[in-house]
Amino acid sequence: MPVPLSPEEAQQFHASDAAPAAFLDLLDAVSFRSAGAALRLGVFEELAGGPLPVEQLAARTGTDPLGLRILLDALTSFGYLVRADDRYANSANTSRWLLRAVPDSFAPVLAFWSALLTGWWHDLESSIRSGTPTGDFYAWLERRPEVLADFQTMLRRLADGLRAEIVELLPVPADAGSLLDVGGGHASYPVAFLTAHPQLRATVVDLDGALAQGAETIAAAGLTDRCTLRAGDLFEADFGTGHDLALLFNIVHGYQAAETLTLLRRVAAALRPGGRVALLEPLAAAPEQPATGPGEAFVRMFSLNLFHTQGGRAYGHDELVGLLHEAGFTDVRQQVLAGSETDHLVTARLACSSPS
C-alpha cells in the first residue's frame, strides 16, 4: 500500500523538487513485492485468527524466523501489519481486503499482478525495443495453475459486479436463441444471460484451463444442458454460426489492430445477419489528455502491460469504431457502466451483407 507520509513529507515529493519522487516509487515497489510474498507464504491467512509471535508464525508458514521477522517489520512499516508486545497482527485494511475468504477479497488480484509483474516485467525494455511481446501470456498462465485460477477469479468477480447491469443494457429479443461468448472462460456472463432469458442457449470458447472454472460456474447454476464449453484458440476454434449475440469481454485489448480485425471478422461470420456484438473494454483516453485519477492511470498502466505481455493495448473509442465498421458492423454505440469507472460497453450490429 502507499508509503504513509505526513503532509510535510508529502509536500517535498509531490509539490516541489525538494526530494526525488522516484524514491517513493522505490518504496512502493518493495511494499508491493513484500505483500505479494506474504500472501504466497500464507502470512496474512495465518494471522487471521489473531496476533502471533515470529517463532510461531514461522513454524506455521515454514519460513526462517529471522527472514520472516525482517519481512514482517517491513510489512509493518508499509501498513499491512501492526506490532504489539512482540506479536504481529493484520492491519484493519489487510483483514478487510487480503484474506481470501472475505467477500470481494483483493487477494486474487494482488496475487495475480504480483506474479505477473515480478515474473515477467524484468524484460520490459525488450518488448519496447522490439515492438513485440517477449512471451505468450496465455501459455504462461496455463503453466501456472494457481496464477491462472487467480486470474479467472479476478475476471469472474469483475463480471459478478457488472453482469446485472450489462444484462439490462443488452436486451435480448424473445426470438433470440443463441449466445456466443468468446474468451469468457469463467462463464459468469453466459450464466447471467441464460438465467434472464430461458430461451437462450450459449457457447463459450476459451482455452481449456480457463474453462475449468466456467464448468463449475455453469454446473452450480444448473445450466449444463444449455451451455456448451468449447476449448480452443480463439483464432482457430469453431465458433459455430447463427448466433444472435456475441460477447467479447476484455478480449480485444490483448491484440494489435490486425489481429483484432481478424477476430471481429470471425465473430461476424458466426452471427446471423442483424446479430449483435458487445465488447467490454477499458477505453484509452487521448494521449494529450492528462491522467485525472487512479482510473485513467490504471488504464495507461494496463495498456503498457498488455503491450509487453501480449502485444496488445487499450484502444480508443474511435479505433474500435473503425475496426468494427471494417469487420462489417454498423450502429456502433458506447455506454459507460455505472459499476466501473474504467470499463465501457461498446455494441454494434452486423450488417445484412458483409463488406467486400
Per-residue pLDDT tens digits for 118-144: 999 999 999 999 999 999 998 999 899
Please tell me the predicted confidence (pLDDT) of residue 287.
Answer: 64
Give the Cα separation of 342 and 39 in Å (integer): 27
Pick from 54, 32, 33: which is nearest to 43 by CA? 54
**Band of pLDDT at residue 340, cut at 50, 70 and 90:** confident
Q: How much of the chain exceeds pLDDT 70, in percent?
A: 97
* CATH of 136-350 given 3.40.50.150, 3.30.365.10, 3.20.20.70, 3.40.50.300: 3.40.50.150
**Band of pLDDT at residue 356, cut at 50, 70 and 90:** very low
Tell me: the pLDDT tens digits for 150-206? 998 898 888 888 999 999 999 999 999 999 999 998 999 999 999 999 999 999 999
Residues in the chain, overall count = 356
Start-end of H helices in 6-119:
7-14, 22-41, 43-46, 54-61, 65-78, 92-97, 107-119
Please tell me the predicted confidence (pLDDT) of residue 328.
Answer: 96
Give the Cα separation of 94 and 74 in Å (integer): 14
Domain boundaries along the sequence of the chain: 7-98, 136-350
Answer whether residue 355 shows pLDDT above 60. no
Give the Cα separation of 112 and 110 in Å (integer): 6
User: Is residue 330 classed as helix, strand or coil in its secondary structure?
Assistant: strand
Answer whether residue 50 shows pLDDT above 70. yes
User: Within 13 Å and on the Cβ side, how many CA atoms surround 14?
Assistant: 8
What single DSSP character describes residue 251? Answer: -
Return the C-alpha cell found at 71.
Answer: 519481512
Answer whether residue 44 shows pLDDT above 60. yes
The mean of the pLDDT values for the chain is 92
Answer whether residue 18 shows pLDDT above 50. yes
Q: How much of the chain exceeds pLDDT 90, in percent?
A: 76
Determine the average pLDDT of the residues in 21-36: 93
CATH architecture of 7-98: Orthogonal Bundle (1.10)
Pick from 342, 285, 312: which is nearest to 162 by CA? 342
Q: Are 167 and 191 in contact (CB under 8 A)?
A: no
Answer whether residue 323 shows pLDDT above 80. yes
- pTM, two decimals, is 0.86
